[in-house]
Amino acid sequence: MLGHVFDPKAELLISEQLRPHWSQAGAIVFVTFRTADSIPKEVLHRWDREKDDWMRRQGFPDGVHWSEILPGLDEKLRGDFYREFNRCRETFLDTCHGRCLLRTPELAKIVGDSLMYFDGKRYRMGDFIVMPNHVHLMAAFADPDSMRAQFDSWTHFTAVQINRSIGEKGRFWQQEPFDHLVRSVEQYDYLRRYIAENPVKANLKPGEYLYRRYP
């Protein structure tokens, strides 16, 4: 495999900003970047309310935001939460809202080239797919500290290059990516299939996406 699956007994680094980022040396991580215009604000606000409602149904008190409760949930409840709302996000992204600029092969290539640039040096890059308004990838990092820095490097560099190509300025990507440490060999295989099948689910034609399969 690309790396190893998450080991709950090994050292783990959790960094917090808008959302928690779990990283572990050598562990495979599944990452989703989305463009800043891919999900309208009203949809994000609706999901925020639905997440609060989900927490209320689990018996948590009113007045406490879901993001404050999530880190303290047991593993099963946290997994249920992520499955519920990650599914909503992925389904919505595949409906291709926003300008979907990455449908243009030249712009998708900027992202693909950036992902591969330090492959084998800073990280091991696995399967990835550049969709019209988002990117899925799998990678493994030698140490937990380097994952977050590499996320920032990818998004900053590609945003500058894409904006230069289209003659614009401003934020291109969402503020932070979504990431998930792969828990099992079965999940690794499932995510590889998910990446490969993403264009079919989104009804894309060849040339409207950029797919790379890990050897």
Element housing 150 (H / E): helix 144-166
Kindly state the DSSP code that residue 23 receives in the 8-state scheme. E
Question: Higher confidence at residue 22 or residue 74?
Answer: 74
CB 142 within 8 A of CB 24: no
Q: Is the pLDDT of residue 87 over 60?
A: yes
The average confidence (pLDDT) of the chain is: 89
Which tens digits make up the pLDDT trace of 106-157?
Answer: 999 999 999 999 999 999 999 999 999 999 999 998 886 788 889 999 999 9
CB 148 within 8 A of CB 20: no
Q: What is the dihedral of CA 35, 21, 129, 103, to 10 degrees?
A: 0
| pLDDT category of residue 18 using cuts at 50, 70 and 90 | very low
Distance CA 10, CA 8 (A): 6
Residue with tokens 């828990």: 183
Q: Is the pLDDT of residue 181 over 90?
A: no
The phi and psi torsions of 172 (rounded to 5 degrees) equal -105, -40
φ/ψ region of 117 (left if φ > 0, alpha if ψ in -120 to 50, else beta) reads alpha
Q: What CATH fold (topology level) applies to the domain 1-38+99-215?
A: Alpha-Beta Plaits (3.30.70)
Q: What is the DSSP string of 62-96?
A: TTS-HHHHGGGS-HHHHHHHHHHHHHHHHHHHTT-
Q: Is the pLDDT of residue 13 over 70?
A: no
Strand stretches in 98-162, DSSP E: 123-130, 134-141
Residue ranges of domains in the chain: 1-38+99-215, 39-97
Q: Is the pLDDT of residue 67 over 90?
A: no
Question: Which is nearest to 142 in space by CA: 9, 13, 8?
Answer: 13
Question: Which is nearest to 184 in space by CA: 72, 79, 85, 77?
Answer: 79
Cα 26 to the center of its chain, rounded Å:
18
Average of per-residue pLDDT across 10-36: 74
| pLDDT at residue number 41 | 85
Distance CA 209, CA 195 (A): 11
Q: Is the pLDDT of residue 32 over 60?
A: yes
